[in-house]
């Protein structure tokens, strides 16, 4: 720095003005862009100067004109975010972009880093549908466990759709061809500002009159199908007392009503095929079942005939006489065996009793008395020792042919006993 330049810097500082470096300015600007009001925001504008870089990144401007006043912001969308786009942005397209404002220090400019792009005309409603989806999911309207199976052969099918559209005629044609049942049509508007109210009312109106309900409309734009995203319609389907099949738009069109329905069909005609069986297939099945039953019945009859013939043979007089004679011989043999067994057991018991009698006879006191022995008793008790009596005691002497009363005059004990 020259002497003259140093003097100018000193003069600036003397006036209380701070001299900043480029890096310091960049840091201040970066702090400004870090403001939460510039982060994760939606911005609406018109695309211009769109360029798709060889790397896959997209660079474009987002502009807005308000009278004679125009404003433009530079935008960049990295390839990783661009791969999620469901359409290809073009110049002049009115869009909603989501992202954050940032500062690119090397070139000293700010730009909007875009992470998502949506059509502006549909963007707000798309966001509304996402909010409804979260709210209804919390209520349990989309739970898999509340899905019900369709009845195999309903007697009454309810249809909620426009009374004048081709959808109703398609459903009638398919059902009349496959399996004619009673149709209860609950007419309703299928698009428009108040359509969701009519659709929900039509579902509730037919819920108690049918075994299964088809909610249908033909193809259309997101705006046309928007009423079928409304919570009123979703709740009416979730609370319906009978299963509901949704057939709204084309196969690629998905509405919140499809998530709440018990089954989704790709087209109204497909829905009609789902709710009723094919009578031709049923007749073929019945014929096959009839053939199988006839075959089983004939086979059963054959087996029964064989069993009956065998039974007749077993019950014939000749056969019965032979079987009776065989049983008589068996009974005679059993009786003989029983007799021998009883005789053997009686002989055995008789011998055992005789031996026991001899033992008892040998031990009988009366038998001993007959041999000259006697029994001495004192006060009704048998005397077994001289120590049980004393001189002067009155005792009784029991002999073979009578008793003697005696007085004890002397007692002598045998010292060796």
pLDDT for residue 141: 95
Q: How confident is the model at residue 3 (pLDDT cuts 50, 70, 90)?
A: very low
Q: Write down the pLDDT at residue 124.
A: 66
* Angle of the 231-238 helix axis to the 120-139 helix axis, nearest 10: 30
pLDDT of residue 88: 87
Question: How many domains are there within the chain?
Answer: 4
Q: What's the pLDDT score for residue 203?
A: 97
In percent, the amount of the chain with pLDDT more than 90 equals 38
- Domain identity same for 273 and 388: no
Question: Would you say 47 and 64 are in contact if contact means Cβ atoms under 8 Å apart?
Answer: no
Q: Is residue 330 domain-resident? A: no
List pLDDT tens digits, range 339-349: 888 888 888 88
Are 302 and 272 within one domain? no
Average pLDDT over residues 35-62: 89
Residue 206 lies in a domain: yes
**Whole-angstrom distance, CA of residue 360 vs CA of residue 250:** 115
Buried/exposed code over 206-219 (b: 16+ C-beta within 10 A; e: otherwise): bbeebbbbbbbbbe
Residue 263 in this model has a pLDDT that exceeds 60: yes
Q: Is residue 201 part of a domain?
A: yes
Query: Do residues 203 and 182 both lie within one domain?
Result: yes
d(CA 356, CA 361): 9
| 22 vs 96, higher pLDDT | 96
pLDDT of 55 > 70? The answer is yes
Mind listing the pLDDT tens digit for each residue in 268-280? 999 999 999 998 8
Least confident of 134-143, 318-327, 404-413: 318-327
Please indicate, yes or no, if residue 57 is contained in any of the structural domains. yes
| Distance set, CA 410 to CA 61, 358, 392 (Å) | 156, 39, 8
Domain of 154: which CATH number?
Answer: 3.40.50.261
Same domain, 213 and 305: no
Residue 352 neighbours by CB distance under 10 Å: 10
Say if 360 falls within a structural domain.
Answer: no
Mean pLDDT of 163-190: 94
Host domain of residue 381? 367-407
The answer to whether residue 161 scores a pLDDT higher than 80 is yes
pLDDT value of residue 1? 45
Note whether 148 and 66 are same-domain residues: no
User: Could you tell me which residue, 124 or 48, shows the higher pLDDT?
Assistant: 48
Give the pTM: 0.48
Per-residue pLDDT tens over the stretch 72-101: 889 999 999 999 888 888 887 888 899 998
pLDDT at position 200: 97
What integer pLDDT is reported at residue 244 of this predicted model?
A: 97
pLDDT interval class at 182 (50, 70, 90): very high
Residue 108 has pLDDT above 80, yes or no: no
* Domain match, 400 and 378 both: yes
Q: Are 253 and 198 in contact (CB under 8 A)?
A: no
Quick one: pLDDT at residue 255?
Answer: 94
- One domain, residues 293 and 383: no
Q: Does one domain contain both 233 and 312?
A: no
Q: Residue 283: is its pLDDT beyond 50?
A: yes
Do 94 and 203 belong together in one domain? no
- Give the residue, 364 or 81, on which the prediction is more confident: 81
The mean predicted confidence, pLDDT, of the chain is 86
Strand order, beta sheet including 156-161: 182-187, 156-161, 212-217, 244-248, 263-264
User: Is 259's pLDDT higher than 50?
Assistant: yes
The mean per-residue pLDDT over the stretch 117-125 comes to 71
| Section 319-331 average pLDDT | 80
For residues 184 and 224, the model is more confident at 184
111 and 29 in a common domain:
yes
Together in a domain, 95 and 192: no
């Amino acid at each position: 720095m020259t002497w003259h330049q140093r003097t100018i810097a000193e003069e600036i500082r003397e006036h209380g003005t701070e001299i900043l470096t480029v890096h310091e300015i960049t840091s201040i600007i970066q702090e400004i862009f870090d403001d939460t009001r510039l982060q994760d925001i939606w911005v609406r504008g018109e695309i211009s100067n769109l360029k798709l870089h060889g790397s896959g990144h997209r660079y474009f401007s987002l502009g807005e004109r308000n009278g004679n006043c125009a404003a433009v912001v530079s935008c960049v969308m990295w390839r990783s975010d661009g791969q999620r786009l469901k359409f290809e942005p073009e110049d002049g397209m009115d869009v909603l972009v989501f992202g954050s404002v940032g500062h690119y220090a090397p070139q000293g400019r700010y730009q909007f880093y875009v992470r998502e792009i949506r059509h502006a005309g549909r963007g707000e409603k798309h966001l509304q549908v996402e909010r409804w989806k979260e709210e209804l999911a919390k209520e349990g309207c989309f739970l898999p466990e509340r899905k019900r199976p369709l009845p195999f052969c309903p007697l009454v099918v309810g249809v909620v759709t426009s009374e004048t559209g081709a959808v109703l005629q398609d459903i009638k044609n398919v059902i009349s061809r496959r399996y004619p049942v009673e149709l209860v049509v609950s007419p309703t508007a299928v698009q428009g500002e108040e359509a969701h109210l009519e659709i929900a009312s039509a579902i509730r109106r037919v819920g108690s009159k049918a075994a299964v309900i088809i909610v249908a409309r033909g193809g259309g734009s997101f705006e046309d199908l928007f009423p079928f995203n409304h919570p009123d319609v979703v709740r009416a389907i979730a609370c319906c007392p009978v299963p509901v099949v949704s057939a709204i738009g084309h196969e690629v069109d998905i509405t919140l009503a499809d998530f709440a329905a018990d089954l989704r069909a790709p087209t109204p005609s497909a829905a009609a095929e789902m709710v009723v069986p094919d009578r031709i297939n049923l007749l073929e099945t019945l014929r096959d079942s009839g053939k199988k039953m006839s075959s089983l019945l004939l086979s059963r009859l054959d087996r029964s005939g064989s069993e009956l013939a065998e039974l007749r043979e077993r019950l014939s007089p000749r056969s019965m006489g032979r079987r009776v004679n065989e049983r008589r011989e068996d009974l005679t043999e059993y009786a003989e065996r029983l007799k021998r067994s009883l005789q053997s057991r009686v002989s055995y018991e008789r011998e055992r009793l005789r031996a026991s009698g001899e033992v008892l006879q040998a031990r009988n006191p009366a038998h001993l008395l007959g041999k000259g022995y006697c029994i001495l008793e004192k006060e009704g008790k048998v005397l077994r020792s001289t120590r049980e009596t004393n001189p002067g005691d009155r005792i009784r002497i029991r002999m073979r042919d009578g008793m003697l009363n005696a007085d004890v005059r002397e007692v002598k004990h045998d010292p060796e006993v």
